[in-house]
Every structure is written in C-alpha cells, then in structure tokens.
Structure 1
Amino acid sequence: SALRRVYAPKAHGIWNLHMIAVKSGLGACVLFSSIAALLGGGGQANYAAANCCLDAVSASRRQHALPGTSVQWGPWADVGMAAGGDVNARLQAGGFSLITLVEGMSALEVAMTHLAHPSFAVAKVQWSRFSTNSSETPAFFQELDLRPRESKSAAATSTPARAVATSALTTDRVVEIAQHLIGNSVDADVPLLEAGLDSLGAVELKNSLQSYSGTGVLPSSLVYDHPTPRLLTDFISLSVVVDKVDPMTQPSEIIGLDHVTGVARSLLGSTVDPDVPLADAGLDSLGAVEFRNQLQGLLRGYGLSLPNTLVLEMPTLRQLGQHLAHTTAAFATDVVEPDVQATSAKDLYTDVSVRDWSDAKHGCLSCQRRGKPGLPVIVAVSSIEGTVVLTVPSEFQGDVYRLEHEHISTGSKAALSETSLQMLAAKYARIIVEELQGRSDSDISFYLLGASFGSFLAHLIAAEAEKLGRAPAGIVLIEPLPVLPLSQHPNFVSPRPVTGGLACASIESARRTSLDPRYDDTMETSIGDLEQLYNSQPDDYLPFLLTQRLSDLGMKQFNLEAIMENGRRIAVCEHHTTLWREPLEHHMPALADVTRVLVVFASPSAREAFFSFSFGVTGDANLPSAVSRFYGTAMAAEVHVDGSHSDVAYRCLTNRVLEFAESLLKFVAEQEVRHADTLQLQIHQWSSSKAWSANAQRC
C-alpha cells in the first residue's frame, strides 16, 4: 500500500496525461522529476521509482519526435518537502544546498527549450560533504569517486578487518554521524527522534552505521529499538562481538531468573522483587524496550525471538525467568539436570517438551507458558481485536494457552472467511480438543478465560466443545455482556458496522485506559473524537497512524512489524463485530452440566455506562444479579472489582487484582477436587506450597 500510494500518482498520472496529449501538438512538455531518480535515497525506493517513470516517458516522447523534458529537481528553499527546518538541516549536512526561486526559474527556462536534454538534474551539491551511505562506489560516481578520503580507505579495508576495527565503536563516533545527518548538536542520552532525526534520516543513519561497522545487515527498526546514541553503540558493539563467534557453536546454558534479574538490576540500578511487575518497579517504556533488547542479546545462538510486548505479556521477573528457562533448556547442550526435589516448583518448569511450543496450532492456539504435566490448563480467549494478553498467578502450575485469531499470526485473508460467530467458536473448540487429545496427559481438564467480547466467545466455545465430547471444567468470564438476547431490551441498538476508523479508536481507547483508568470515564466522548480523527484518513494509512500514536504513548515500537500487526488487528476487529451482531439478538446456548462459571464484575455504574453506550441497554439487564440468575447453579463464584469496564478487564488479565488471582486459584482447585478424586494428591501438592495464599490453603 505504501508503494502504491507514492508510486501511482506520478507513474499512472504521467502515462494517462501522455496518452491524452500525444496528438494535441504540445509546444512543450516539462515534467517535474526528482534528484532521487538519479541518486536514490534511503527509504525512498517508491518515490525514486515514480520519478524514474517521468524520466522514461520524457525519453520515449523524444524518441517519437515529441517534446519532452524531465527535470530532476534537487531540494528547493521556500517550497516543497525540503522546506521544513529539520529536513533542510539534514540535507545541508549531507552536502545539498537549497535551490532559490531565481535559480529554479532559470533552470525551468532551459527546460522549455528544444535544446534541453530529455532529462537533466538541477541540484546544488557540495561534493566534499556529499555521502552516499555506501561502502561501494555507486555506478554513477565510479569515474569520479567523489567520496571523502576516509570513506575510500574504509572501502579498501577487508570486511573482517573492519569488523575488528569497529569493535571499539564509540558513542562519540555515533554522535558525530548523527550530527552530520541532523545538522544540529546531539546528546548521547537523548532519543535521536527528539533531537530532530526524521524517518528518512533514521534510514540514512542505519545505513551509515551499517557501512561503518561492517556487522552485516542492521535491523530497519534500529533507531526505534535503540533510540539514543549510547544505546546504539552498545547494540552495534555487541553485534560485532557476536559476529566473531562460530555460528556452529551451540548454546550450553539455560537462561533463567538469575540472568533476567541481572539485566533488570543493571537498568534500574537496584534489586527488583521477582514477583513485582517491572512497571511498578520503575521500568518505563524506553526501559522496557532496552530490557527486551538486552534479553534478546542473551538469546543469540538459540534461534529465538522475543516479542516487542514482552514486558506487557510477562510483567514480573519470575514469569520471564520461567519462560526463558523452559525455552532455552530445549536448545542448551551439556546442561546438568537440576535437582527437582531441591528446587521450588515456583522457580522451575520440570516438563521440557521436545515439541516447539511457540508454533501456533492452525495459527490460533499457542502455549504462552509451559507448566507441570498432568495439571489442568487455562486457555485465554481472543479479544475483539483478535489478540489476548494474560498473566496468571505464578502459583498456577498448569500450562497457559493463548487463543488468537488466525489472521493475526498469518495475515491470511482466508482466515477472515467465517460467516458466523458460531462457526468461529466451533473452529476454536476443535483446535483446543485436538491439542488436548494430542498430549501425553490427554485426560486433563481445561478452563476457558475471556474478557468482554472474549467472555462471550468463551461461552460459545464451551458449548461447541461439549458437542465434541470435551466440555471445559470451567469458564472464567471477566466483565461479561448483559444477558442475551439484547434485542429484548427496549432501548437496544444493534451495533453498527465497525469501520477501520472506529476499530482504531477502540484499540487506542483500550490502550489509553490501561495507562490511566480515568480515561474510560469519558469513553463516549473520547472514542467519538478518536473515530473522527481516524476517519479523516485513508484506510491504507490507518495502521501507520495507529502505530505512531501508540508509539507516542510508549506502548508500541514504531516499526514495520508493529504497523503490519496493527493492520491485522483492525481487520479482525471489523470482522468480529460483523459476526457478533446476529448472535446478540438470540439466546445463549446452554453449558454442559460439568462446566462451572467464575464471573468478575466491574461496578454497576461502570457496567451501566459501558453497555448503555455500546448497545443502548440500560437498567437491570446490566446488573451482576441478572448474569448470576442466567447461569444459576453453574455459577461457582463472582468477584466484584472497582473500576471501569476496560480497566477491570485489563487489570485482571495482567494479574493486578489480588482478589481475582486468589479466586481464580480457588475456583480451579475446587473444580479439580469436584471432578476427579485422583487429582487430590496434586491439589494437595499445590496447597502445601509456601507460595499459596491463605484462601488457597483453606481450599
């Protein structure tokens, strides 16, 4: 879409204009191309190609005895893309001076004559400062070789020698390169984007550092992942060291809690409680990015990649340590098996599966955290945007799965082919049952957990799983919808089709609420304002804008991966809301007799505000008592949490509500005792753990 948006206007526009004017007898045809068509430009392949089309059409017209001249303009002083201060400074730092109005008009007069070349460049370049950001001499300059002496000697140096030379890359050198591009002074600890580096400058800086360091290909998100010169230096220096390691060398160490704790201590300057969320311990958004990057550095050689949302998905050091210990154990060699009896179950996963647990089943079901075999599992159900973040209490020792929409992981349009929510629920139920039956401990029970839309979907999946002979032992519903059918309520308003703009507004609103619960108090106004903002933009631009705004909030890195992921979230959000309109007007299917329900409610006023805004449903239908009556004897317990709808859902999913965590553990333990006497020994082992809360011990 980015290529089409930039390339199409010039490429198709000039051809259409040429076809219309070919027989009109034009006296002159002057096309405004760009110097990018001649010299290229970092991150501007689409723009350069579009302008090359102008040059080609001009040459073709001349060959057919038609007037045509294409002017490859350099940057102008008062108008155009280079007129802005930051871009202006960067261009001048790179050797380009700006074309004045008088100079430009003089060049245009030449272009209007029949003596002009079919294409020619008009640019003011100080060649001694001009840099192509390449260790190779471009073909255009091979006869001139106008690069500075330093670049010439560097190009003559062999790659291995350059790698050794740059192993001592200094922060001052990175600052110097950045200042050359920005044209202003740069502080080593200030994010470069705040210092005036724009997106094109970020690409040029990446290319310059890549050429200078000789470390191979650096990531395109380099400046966003390592925003300051000092962090860039640390990352590239580490890359140089890693490049010297024999790639055939196998890792021989399990990365676990001690490693994670050490990285956190180096970033925060103090020891962090392993059970306290890192955000509460003082780790901000930039720190979270660097924390993830340093952990990724420890995993070089393991063939593993950590998600950008690492700290959101596993907010405590213990959860991270357990995750990494289990994952790296399958790769490490010559590792002495730990003494299981002497190690707390809270600190060790004793089950190391040969299967690659990170591979999602059918692109939907993935194991977020591997626990002890033989214990029940929890499956977290997708939200309306197709993803889910769940952090269960560390005392829960079973596996934790995430059930997300297939389009999120694959990007396949075919994944959006479901025509009803029941069809989607049946698909998910089949995937879950197949996964459980394929396990060595296939007789274990499972629990579904969902919030808001996810709770609605969890109920439907439970009903479909019963048809397959594998009903869940329980479902956990966080802020469930009012009792269906909603159409029986006099003020019910069927949800309107969700546009991309409304999907973006909903996603951003949920993220803002997770940062500040008070944001949800003005939900109706805020979503309306956000929807208006997003609807004013082309659909192709929405993923870019959403990612940019979430990045400004410190919740998402701004890179291509994040833009693509958000594009898929938007598509799934639109898809889900199309599917759920019809089921909201019908009765919910009954659950199996063996399935029990744990429900978490926000305050009555918060439920009233959210569901009256969403569906026009008011009054008793929104009360927790209505949901309790609907489930009847299947209702095992309910938890009431102060806060708005979105805030309660987010805090429960990220293990920040103690009452919910204790109730979840108690709920699972009680259902296991009720369902199978043979599991009482395992329940006893749970309850004897020192980590158990008083409520769980009484259970």
Structure 2
Amino acid sequence: MFAPKVDAVRHLDELTRGLDLDAFIVYSSAASVFMGAGSGGYAAANAFLDGLMARRRAAGLPGLSLAWGPWDQATGLAETMDDLTLTQMSRREGRGGVMALKPVEGMELFGAAVGSGQALLVPVKLDLRGVRADAVAGGGVPHLLRGLVRLGRQQAQAVGVGGDERRQLSDRLAGLGAAEQEALLLDLVRTQVAVVLGHAGPESVRAETAFKDAGFDSLTSVELRNRMREATGLKLPATLVFDYPTPMELARHLGDELAVDKASPADPVLAGLAGLDAAIESAASDEEARDRITVRLRELLKAAEAAGGSDGTEGTADASDEDLETASDEDLFAIFDRLN
C-alpha cells in the first residue's frame, strides 16, 4: 500500500513543485480519519496523503486530499474482493454510520470539493439513523459523529453512561436464581454476537459454539469486547473471546465479574416467617390460639427436618424432641425467636 500511495505521491509532489498547477488532488480514504480499524497500513498510507496536502497548502501550493468513503461499484479494488469480504465490509461500514456512495453521488461530491479551498475533505455518505439504532442496541457512537447524533432521553438511558450499565444490569439480575441469571447473561452475549456477525437475531448464535468457529477474527473480537463493555460497564480485556471462547463461558465469566447475589429458595420462606412475629404476639393472650400456633409450628419444624434429611439436631436451637414435648408455650416462642 505504501508504494502506490506514499512513494508515488511523494515523487509526484517533488517533480511538480516547479509547475504552475491549477489543482493537485489525491484520493485518500475515510480510514485515515475514522473507520480505520483492522486496516492499519492502509489508514496510515492515506493519512500520509492528508498530511502532504496540508504541507503543500502551507507552502502556498495547490493541494487537496479527498478521504473517500466506500463506493458502490464492482470495479477497481472491489473487483478482486470475494462475497464474504464485501459482506463483512458492508456490515462494518454500516455500524460505523457510513453507506456506500453511488457513482453519481461521488461525482457530485468531487465537483463540490474542487473549488472548496480546503486541504482535506471527507466525502462520505453518513447513515445517522443507523448510528442511533446501533447505539440503542448497545453499540457506541463513533467519536467523530457524536456531534451529529443526538440521542433522546430514552435512547440515552438505553445506551447508559459510565457505571450506569453495570448498575442497571445488576438490578436486573438481583433476585434471580442462578439459572435465571445465567440465562439472562447468555441472552445478552448472544444478542451482541449476532450484531457483530450480522445475524438476524440471537437465536442464530449457539451457546456452546466457539467464537473462532462462528467466524470471529481479531477485529470482530475487539468489537464484541467493546460492545460487552458498553452493555455491562465492566473493564474487559481485548482477549475476552480467546479467554472465554464460547458464549456460555463468556456469560458465566460476566456473572462472576458482576458478583450479584443469587436468590435462594429459602428467601420467600424466611420472609414469610419474619412476618409471623406480629401475628404471634397479637395472639399471645389467647390460650387456645397459642396452642393451635404451637401445634402448627411443631408440624412445620418436623416437615423442614424431614425435607432436609435432618435428624433433628440441627436448626432447632439445640432443642431435642423431648425438650419440645415438655416445653412451655413461652419456651416454644423463645425457640422460634432464635430460629427467626
């Protein structure tokens, strides 16, 4: 890439400096400004053209670099690309807020740029509606488009800011059992994987299929890490999909990192017992009511011991069956208080 871009234009610049030119126009790429992820050499070569035109302008010479976005055509470089490469580029450009230019649109932009007097222009076709939709789905807004994309209140809440994502996700997980938490996190991972790979929905993503077998490369791996970081508020490494190579393993890792307490089957039972205090106290003056309550408490205690395979020595506040048989009402209430 450096030979046809950097070397060629550098020589052309040196050999024409003594000529009276009306224009000196080079074709750069939007990758030199943004959208350059995964194309470091290409982005750097085009950035050289941008810088050289700025230097020519500073020296009083004509110079214009057009950092083109993608064109919708099957000639030139695009002629040698296979369908898979073109599909991946299309998905990537779409998520970056850029659509392909029709030839007539490109020619109109070229005509407008020639007389602009600028050293660098970026003729691209922006898809700001797509950027908004992607942001709501959990993706980030490209930095250079944040002045153009205004999110509504509901959209901003959906995107989240800073640690809000982690708090919102933790709130959703709180009170769920272990299986439900895992299911929610797995659905989150599968949804983001589907977006990165361009699937119609998370149902196309299998929980146990390795990311590398699903089509991930280094670029899409980093993109998934970024999207998961946005969605969870966690600090996640760039090697995330290599460290946790399936959606299920990644979901379990997120659960460990979020460290949300899992609901216990005992929680509703204990909550119900806590509400008995006032009821028992109100019935304490009625001897018949106390007797009925005592019998029922004994039945519940025996049922709990039987369900847990207990021999009666645990969970009874050190009270034996004989003690319970001979205990007074006050003793039983004291045992209940200690259990509660």
Is 1:240 matched with 2:224? no
What residue is the counterpart of 1:620 in the other structure? Answer: none
Higher helix share: 2
Specify the code of the residue in structure 2 equivalent to 1:53: F
Structure 1 residues 220 and 151, CA, compared in 2 at 3 Å: closer, same or farther?
farther
CA distance in 2, matches of 1:57, 1:122: 18
What residue is the counterpart of 1:208 in the other structure? Answer: 227
Secondary structure in structure 2 of the residue aligned to 1:33: strand
The correspondence for 1:224, drawn from 238, 242, 257, is: 242
How far does the alpha carbon of each residue in 1:462-519 deviate from its partner, in whole angstroms, 9 at most, with x for none? xxxxxxxxxxxxxxxxxxxxxxxxxxxxxxxxxxxxxxxxxxxxxxxxxxxxxxxxxx
**Higher RCO, 1 or 2 (CA under 8 Å, sep at least 6)?**
2
The correspondence for 1:89, drawn from 88, 91, 99, is: 91
CA distance in 1, matches of 2:100, 2:218: 20
Structure 1 residues 117 and 134, CA, compared in 2 at 3 Å: closer, same or farther?
farther
In the TM superposition, residue 127 of structure 1 has moved relative to its aligned partner by: 0.8
Is 1:144 matched with 2:148? yes
CA contact (8 A) 1:72 1:120 kept: yes
What residue is the counterpart of 1:19 in the other structure? Answer: 14
Q: Which moved further from structure 2: 128-137 or 189-198? A: 128-137
Aligned residues: 233
CA distance in 2, matches of 1:92, 1:103: 18
Structure 1 residues 7 and 178, CA, compared in 2 at 3 Å: closer, same or farther?
farther
CA distance in 1, matches of 2:90, 2:142: 25
What residue is the counterpart of 2:205 in the other structure? Answer: 187
Is 1:162 matched with 2:181? no
- Runs of 5+ unmatched residues, structure 1: 1-5, 243-699
CA contact (8 A) 2:6 2:45 kept: yes
Q: Normalising by structure 2, report the TM-score.
A: 0.56
The correspondence for 2:52, drawn from 34, 40, 57, is: 57
In the TM superposition, residue 145 of structure 1 has moved relative to its aligned partner by: 4.1
In the TM superposition, residue 14 of structure 1 has moved relative to its aligned partner by: 3.8
Secondary structure in structure 2 of the residue aligned to 1:122: coil
The correspondence for 1:171, drawn from 186, 191, 195, is: 186
- Runs of 5+ unmatched residues, structure 2: 174-183, 261-340
Q: Normalising by structure 1, report the TM-score.
A: 0.29
CA contact (8 A) 2:193 2:205 kept: no
What residue is the counterpart of 2:71 in the other structure? Answer: 76
CA contact (8 A) 2:166 2:234 kept: yes
CA distance in 1, matches of 2:153, 2:41: 31
Q: Which runs of structure 2 are paired with 1:467-482 in the superposition (5 Å)?
A: none
Structure 1 residues 43 and 25, CA, compared in 2 at 3 Å: closer, same or farther?
same
Identity of aligned residues (%): 28
Secondary structure in structure 1 of the residue aligned to 2:72: coil
CA contact (8 A) 1:86 1:197 kept: no
Is 1:153 matched with 2:171? no
In the TM superposition, residue 99 of structure 1 has moved relative to its aligned partner by: 1.8
Specify the code of the residue in structure 2 equivalent to 1:172: D
CA distance in 2, matches of 1:151, 1:47: 35
What residue is the counterpart of 1:119 in the other structure? Answer: 120
Secondary structure in structure 1 of the residue aligned to 2:66: strand
In the TM superposition, residue 41 of structure 1 has moved relative to its aligned partner by: 4.1
What residue is the counterpart of 1:104 in the other structure? Answer: 106
How far does the alpha carbon of each residue in 1:294-317 deviate from its partner, in whole angstroms, 9 at most, with x for none? xxxxxxxxxxxxxxxxxxxxxxxx
CA distance in 2, matches of 1:215, 1:46: 31
In the TM superposition, residue 114 of structure 1 has moved relative to its aligned partner by: 3.4
CA distance in 1, matches of 2:245, 2:155: 25
In the TM superposition, residue 182 of structure 1 has moved relative to its aligned partner by: 2.6
Specify the code of the residue in structure 2 equivalent to 1:115: S
In the TM superposition, residue 136 of structure 1 has moved relative to its aligned partner by: 8.3
Secondary structure in structure 2 of the residue aligned to 1:236: helix
